[in-house]
Amino acid sequence: MVATQETIDKVKEVSSTYKYGFVTDLEADKAPLGLSEDIVKFISHKKKEPKWLLEWRLKAYKKWLSMEAPDWAMVDFPKINFQDIYYYSAPKTKPKLNSLDEVDPELLRTYEKLGIPIKEQKVLAGVAVDYVFDSVSVATTFRKKLAKEGIIFCPISEAVQSHPDLVKKYIGSVIPISDNYYAALNSAVFTDGSFVYIPKGVKCPMELSTYFRINEQNSGQFERTLIIAEDNTYVSYLEGCTAPQRDENQLHAAVVELVAMNNAEIKYSTVQNWYPGDKDGKGGIYNFVTKRGNCLGQKSKISWTQVETGSAITWKYPSCVLKGDDSVGEFYSVAVANNAQQADTGTKMIHIGKNTKSTIISKGISAGKAQNTYRGQVQIQKNARGSRNFTQCDSLLIGDKCGAHTVPYINQFTPYARVEHEATTSKISEDQLFYCLQRGLDTEQATSLIVNGFCKEVMKELPMEFAVEAQKLIGISLEGSVG
Amino acid sequence: MSLLEIKNAKLKVDNKDILKGLSLSVNSGEVHAIMGPNGSGKSTLSYMLAGRDGYELESGKVFLDGQSLSDMEADERARSGLFLAFQYPVELPGVGGMSFLREAVNSRRKFLGEEELDHLAFVKEARKVASKMFVKDEMLKRAVNVGFSGGEKKRFEILQMAMLKPKVSILDETDSGLDVDALKIVSDGVNEQRTNDNAIVVITHYQRLLDYIVPDFVHILSDGIIIKSGGPELALEVEKNGYAGLINAA
Ligand SMILES: Nc1ncnc2c1ncn2[C@@H]1O[C@H](COP(=O)(O)OP(=O)(O)OP(=O)(O)O)[C@@H](O)[C@H]1O
Ligand SMILES: [Mg+2]
């Protein structure tokens, strides 16, 4: 890989500073363009990380260099030039606007449809309001309440400083740096993300949402999240946001690791609405995510619920490794792809322990010219006697230029287990639309209602307030695709 | 006062002439029955009125309460007070009856400038109407028409009519598939909605229904036009002698 002159110069500058050990802050708020060992050092240093973490990052970087970008997914995009990306920039404050009048009316229209309160609209659009202070104080109260229970919920960069032992023990324990190309990249250059620790016996009293995480802005394109639930615990974590998110960074490669001990339950819900690009997919986000949960303990349970409407390309397979006997893995997914969007998503359920159970419900909706692929693997290992899997994959097509594909892999190494797979493909019929119109619903309402009906089994897994927004979101994502 | 006015309506479906110059005038407070052989164009007429895609008039005019329907989409027509009880109600998997009804009712209310009903008020209203139609609450929770028996589907159509309070209702073979008791229940439901301010057009093959919903006028539709109109006695004549004589005479 050829580094640009700018990179070379900057790196020289940085590496010479390194020798002196970086006592004070670097002036630069942005790492030079491109990726090299020195950039990794730069990031680690910026974050004042301990040596072990820097070494871990460097190992990941070396691993990444030796790997090839995967090409098995049913997505098509120009090769990414990894030297043409900035890997670190200090948190930026968005330009402050004085009133909503200055905001892109298109954006406001969407907010309104989502039913986002005016106050929040302002925050999202970057209008100066004192509400920001409200939200900080809410977050503070929130954290106090959690701290009383012994729960840790903070940016992972903060956890590296305050709870290095926990981070060191678990980071990369579920998704090793060599797991895949994007996970290796993330391990080398991750900037921030969430850290959650639920101590033994604690049921987290509230939904943990990134919304309440201080400093959550600009955790960047390489987010890293780690959630650990000790014995006899429960936690529900919400990620994402229904408001359309634009980002100057095209490539997003997040890593999420979950660890559930005996009798622990982690519920992880995502509503993702990254900018999908224009009608031809231009300018949209590439979302290449690695998410995996380890059910280490007996009777532990991890459930992934996702509603994906955004991104030009989605490459995402939240998975469960069911090690503990009687552990349970669940995957509920709605993936909407419209216009030129491409989604290749699904899950892996790896049954290792005895009597482990997994459920996969995947609902793919394609409209426009979009391609939507479900890719799922169910593996029942030799000792996983008495294990069961149920998979249901339904595809809904809107229009006749889009596509839906189902690619299930089943590897069963013991006869003492049961794996069931069901798949359907359907279309919104003209009869259904007319029936709704005849009752006074407009085309958008009708589509949204029918599509949400199709997704119902997944939507009911979402926390209530999230579900309502997600429903509206699905309607909006499909706007203009019917009629 | 004419609530529904059809003037010389002509319409092709897939290049085939189906309506061939049909005229009909329905005043407020009236109930009209349309009878006619299979394939004569009765359902086509109802789709044309409701504004279904592909059923646009080739020539002729239609007015709902004095307003021309030609530039109105199906949903606008519905919100303006045109209701069609389908011959074959459509299944909407996963779409709960309550939420479907609520969206429909609120669309209509919004159009009328009335306040939208909140969840509680709506549920109360829906239960009231449902109990009159002997529709169990449990059915409202199920997905619209999914797994409903033929008779349940028809009952649910009339329940929607009662909730939406349309100006003009067209009931396309609402009696088919109903057992004797259900026929009575559904007819009572329809009769209860007869007022001086609305109008109802029932399409049926059977005189039996007209014993319950007594029409002011009966029309015979054959090959895309109305060949004869009369009072309730015309239905009795059809019942006795069939259509052949009427068609030959026309
Ligand atoms: N989409 C279509 N393509 C071709 N022909 C059609 C289409 N729709 C209706 N027709 C024809 O139009 C004619 C009238 O049909 P329509 O359904 O209106 O009859 P009907 O009077 O309602 O009959 P029935 O009493 O059986 O319900 C029939 O010959 C039918 O085959
Ligand atoms: Mg018919």
Query: In this model, does residue A92 exceed pLDDT 80?
Result: no
Least CB–CB distance from A430: residue in B53, B100, B103: B53
**Ligand whose nearest atom lies closest to the CA of B44:** 1
pLDDT band at A173 (very low <50, low <70, confident <90, very high): very high
Arithmetic mean of pLDDT, B193-215: 94
Name the residue with higher pLDDT: A380 or A345.
Answer: A380
Name the residue with higher pLDDT: A419 or A367.
Answer: A419
Distance CA B228, CA B219 (A): 6
Q: What pLDDT was estimated at residue A4?
A: 45
Q: Which two tokens stand for residue B174?
A: 């609402």
B160 to chain A, any CB pair closer than 8 A? The answer is yes
Predicted complex ipTM: 0.96
Q: What pLDDT was estimated at residue A220?
A: 57
Arithmetic mean of pLDDT, B169-177: 93
**Ligand whose nearest atom lies closest to the CA of B41:** 1
Percent of chain B with pLDDT over 90: 77
pLDDT band at B32 (very low <50, low <70, confident <90, very high): very high
Query: In this model, does residue A256 exceed pLDDT 60?
Result: yes
* CATH number for domain B4-249, candidates 3.30.920.30, 3.40.50.740, 3.40.50.720, 3.40.50.300: 3.40.50.300
Q: What pLDDT was estimated at residue A96?
A: 55
Query: In this model, does residue A323 exceed pLDDT 90?
Result: yes
Q: What pLDDT was estimated at residue B246?
A: 84
Q: pTM score, two decimals? A: 0.80
Query: In this model, does residue A94 exceed pLDDT 50?
Result: no
Arithmetic mean of pLDDT, B117-130: 89
Arithmetic mean of pLDDT, A34-60: 92
- Residue spans of the domains in chain A: they are 1-30, 97-131, 132-477
B90 to chain A, any CB pair closer than 8 A? The answer is yes
Arithmetic mean of pLDDT, A91-100: 57
> Cβ atoms within 10 A of the Cβ of B147, count?
10
**Ligand 1 touching residue B222 (CB < 6 A):** no
| Chain B residues lying within 8 Å of A334, measured CB to CB | none
> Mapping DSSP to helix (H, G, I), strand (E, B) and coil, where does residue A105 land?
helix
- The amino acid occupying position A445 is Q
pLDDT band at A131 (very low <50, low <70, confident <90, very high): very low
Convert the pLDDT of each residue in A198-239 to its tens digit. Answer: 999 999 988 887 654 433 344 457 889 999 999 999 999 988
Q: What is the nearest CA distance from A173 to chain B, expressed in angstroms?
A: 40
In this structure, what is the dihedral angle of CA atoms A408, A412, A417, A423, given to the nearest 10 degrees?
A: 10
- For residue B46, the ligand 1 atom closest to its alpha carbon is 18
- In A, minimum Cα distance to B110 occurs at A440
H helix intervals, B64-136: 74-79, 97-111, 119-132
Name the residue with higher pLDDT: A85 or A194.
Answer: A194
Please enumerate residues of A whose Cβ is less than 8 A from a Cβ of B: 429-432, 434-443, 445-446, 449-450, 452-457
Percent of chain A with pLDDT over 70: 78
* Region of A344 on the Ramachandran plot (φ > 0 left; ψ -120 to 50 alpha; else beta): beta
Q: What is the nearest CA distance from A430 to chain B, expressed in angstroms?
A: 9
Mean confidence (pLDDT) of chain A: 82
Which residues have their alpha-adjacent CB atom under 5 A from ion ligand 2? B 42-43, 87
> Cβ atoms within 10 A of the Cβ of B232, count?
16
Angle (CA) A128-A133-A135 rounded to 5° is: 105
Q: What pLDDT was estimated at residue A167?
A: 97
Q: What pLDDT was estimated at residue A471?
A: 81
| Chain B residues lying within 8 Å of A482, measured CB to CB | none
- The amino acid occupying position A130 is D
Backbone angles phi, psi at A80, to 5 degrees: -80, 130
- Residue spans of the domains in chain B: they are 4-249
Distance CA B152, CA B7 (A): 35
Choose the weakest-confidence range: B98-112, B133-147, B202-216: B133-147
Convert the pLDDT of each residue in B69-104 to its tens digit. Answer: 988 999 999 999 999 999 999 999 999 999 999 999
Q: Which residue among B12, B44, B223 has the greatest number of ligand 1 atoms within 8 angstroms of its CB, and so is best to mutate?
A: B44
Query: In this model, does residue B203 exceed pLDDT 50?
Result: yes
Q: Helix/strand/coil (H, E, C) string of A174-206? A: CCCCCCCHHHHHHHHHCCECEEEEECCCCECCC
